[in-house]
Chain A
Amino acid sequence: MKSKKAQLQMGESIFVVIIILLLIVFGLVFASNAEEDSIRADKEDFLDLDSITLTKYASSLAELQCSLLDVTELSCFDIDKLTAFSNVTDKYPEISAEYYFSQFGNANITVHEIYPSNRNWTIYYNGLEDGEVGKIKTTTVPISLYDGITKRKSFGILEIQAISK
């Protein structure tokens, strides 16, 4: 009789332990899911932040900005410098590739001339490859484009795509 009672008591103890363990496991699963959601939200925030940083950096690149002597003009790109930039990045990847990758990372940066003519300059390209999945955040900034030969300005857009792979 007593042995049966002891068995029952032991069964009770085991049952309580199992329930506690189950509760802990459920708690952990819930916590890790919440953490995953929070990481996902953080990732989106970081992409937004990256996009702002990139836009700020790209629109103030000294090697592309219009300048008169030592004074640079905000939101203005020199067309001759855009051409020179493409030449240097094509011909001297050993100097330029790592530098710009460290500044821009995964992004595409293009300058579009909108008026009076339509021309495009790809400043930087490190986008998604075929079949690759990722999020793209596009920001556009209105800029003016200066032609040093004709001394005329045209209207353009700086398009920055920040990519999260």
Chain B
Amino acid sequence: MAKKNNKKGQLEIQFNWIFVIIIGAVILGFLLTFIFSQGDANDKKVSASIANNFETIITSTNQKIGTVKSYKVPDVDINFVCDQDQGLYYYSIGGVNAKDTKHELIFSSEHLRGTRIFTWTEKWSVPYQVATFLYITNDREHFSFVTSYPQTSLETDLIENFADNLSISILNQSATGFENVPSAGLNKMAYTFVVVDDLSNSPLPDPNDFIQTPHDRTRIILINPKSSSNIFESGKVAFLDFDTYKDFANGNTLAAEDETSSYFGKASLYASIFAGNKERYECGMSKAMSRLQLVTLMQYYKTISVEPYISSACKSYIIGSDFDEALWGARLVLKELNVTIADSDFGVQSADDIIGLISKLKNLNNKIVVESNCPLIY
């Protein structure tokens, strides 16, 4: 009997322990799940908070044209996605999709990771102000300007107007070679070399003379301005890797053809340097062209709204003649400009057409400033 009671007691004690272990495991599991989900939610919260601060940075920077700003950021991945083919436009921070950027004119590398980011803005005027371009880079990207011997005025303009305080080197060419050539020891994520092909028919520098950085992290932006006196007005820009540039510099002019795009205006030229590749540059510029179309339409309607109130002398500038292209007024130029922008694929030809019409508009506006008391077109 005593043996039976002892067995029953053992069973009760065992059952108690099993019961406590099961319930303990359930509570522990529940708490662990809760803690991990909180941790995950907290990571997302931190990323969302960074994203929110980043949005404020972008918005406030957009208002201050020409200023370079530096911000300390947590060491998280910032990705800028601009893919025209798939219609994807956003940036993400720490894996969290932070903001749609379908209409934001941001030019940067696709992937940035570093503890300090730099923002710079330039206004894009063609010839009236259309938008503010925002350039974003960080402390792990390096820009090098390769100059001729002696340095040309085009190169000087390009360097002097570039943002201060970024990681930059100017590769002055002397009789013995290049100075300040960045070495791989700089340990940057991306190296951008900017070369100006200044129409002087002098050969392009050999890349082996100025590139010592890892080729997979090196890109060369080759600028071919249309004018020999103003690098910013318009021109072509090619986005090349080491081998393609070498091929091109050795005389294979077709090598860069697929990687060439066009630019007009200072902001557009600098956008190409920060974007670093053709797809990203053209994606950003296509957004800029939509904005240009919208602003051009408004300029066109402005010429309609002022028509009843202006003198006949003013009408020759603002409205002009439909029948003779040489006598076109601003309204017809703006109408044509709008059609050209709408049809534009941002190829070299459409850029030339747009530049031609912009030039006409500039002449008309300058005539109004000098010769008449009419309302300005812009």
Chain A residues with a Cβ under 8 A of chain B: 2-3, 6, 9-10, 13, 17, 20-21, 24, 28, 46, 49, 53, 56-57, 60, 62-63, 65, 67-70, 72, 78, 80-81, 83-85, 87-88, 92, 95-96, 99, 102-103, 148-149
List chain B residues, Cβ under 8 A from A102. Answer: 100, 102-103
Q: Is the CB of B103 within 8 A of A80?
A: no
Known A-B contacts A13-B16, A56-B59, A148-B376; A87 and B304 likewise in contact (beta carbons under 8 Å): yes
State whether the Cβ of B357 lies closer than 8 Å to any Cβ in chain A.
Answer: no
Q: Is the CB of B23 within 8 A of A17?
A: yes
Chain B residues with a Cβ under 8 A of chain A: 5, 8-9, 12, 15-16, 19-20, 23, 27, 30-31, 34, 52, 55-56, 59-60, 62-63, 100, 102-103, 125, 127-132, 290-291, 293-295, 297-302, 304-306, 309-310, 365, 369, 375-376, 378
Q: Is the CB of A24 within 8 A of B30?
A: yes
List chain B residues, Cβ under 8 A from A57. Answer: 59, 62-63
Question: What CA separation (Å) do A103 and B309 show in the bound complex?
Answer: 33
Question: What CA separation (Å) do A53 and B19 show in the bound complex?
Answer: 59
Chain A proximity of B303: nearest CB distance (Å): 8
Q: Is the CB of A67 within 8 A of B128?
A: yes
Q: Is the CB of B309 within 8 A of A149?
A: yes
Q: Is the CB of A69 within 8 A of B369?
A: yes
List chain A residues, Cβ under 8 A from B295. Answer: 62-63
Chain B proximity of A134: nearest CB distance (Å): 20
Per DSSP, chain A at the interface is helix
Question: What CA separation (Å) do A88 and B302 show in the bound complex?
Answer: 10
Question: What CA separation (Å) do A149 and B27 show in the bound complex?
Answer: 78
List chain A residues, Cβ under 8 A from B309. Answer: 149
Question: What CA separation (Å) do A70 and B23 show in the bound complex?
Answer: 75
Q: Is the CB of B290 within 8 A of A99?
A: yes
Q: Is the CB of B298 within 8 A of A10?
A: no
Q: A-B pairs with the 9 shortest C-beta distances?
A: A148-B375, A84-B301, A6-B12, A84-B302, A83-B305, A62-B129, A87-B301, A149-B309, A84-B298
**Chain A, residue nearest B5 (CB):** A2
List chain A residues, Cβ under 8 A from B290. Answer: 95, 99
Known A-B contacts A49-B56, A67-B129; A10 and B294 likewise in contact (beta carbons under 8 Å): no
List chain B residues, Cβ under 8 A from A85. Answer: 298
Q: Is the CB of B9 within 8 A of A80?
A: no
A-B CB contact pairs (8 Å), 21 listed = A13-B16, A13-B19, A20-B27, A24-B30, A49-B56, A56-B60, A62-B129, A63-B294, A63-B298, A67-B128, A67-B129, A68-B376, A84-B301, A85-B298, A88-B298, A88-B301, A92-B297, A95-B293, A95-B294, A99-B290, A102-B100
Q: Is the CB of B27 within 8 A of A70?
A: no
Question: What CA separation (Å) do A58 and B37 show in the bound complex?
Answer: 40
**Chain B, residue nearest A83 (CB):** B305
Q: Is the CB of A53 within 8 A of B56?
A: yes
Q: Is the CB of B301 within 8 A of A99?
A: no
List chain A residues, Cβ under 8 A from B12. Answer: 3, 6, 9-10
List chain A residues, Cβ under 8 A from B294. Answer: 63, 88, 95-96, 99
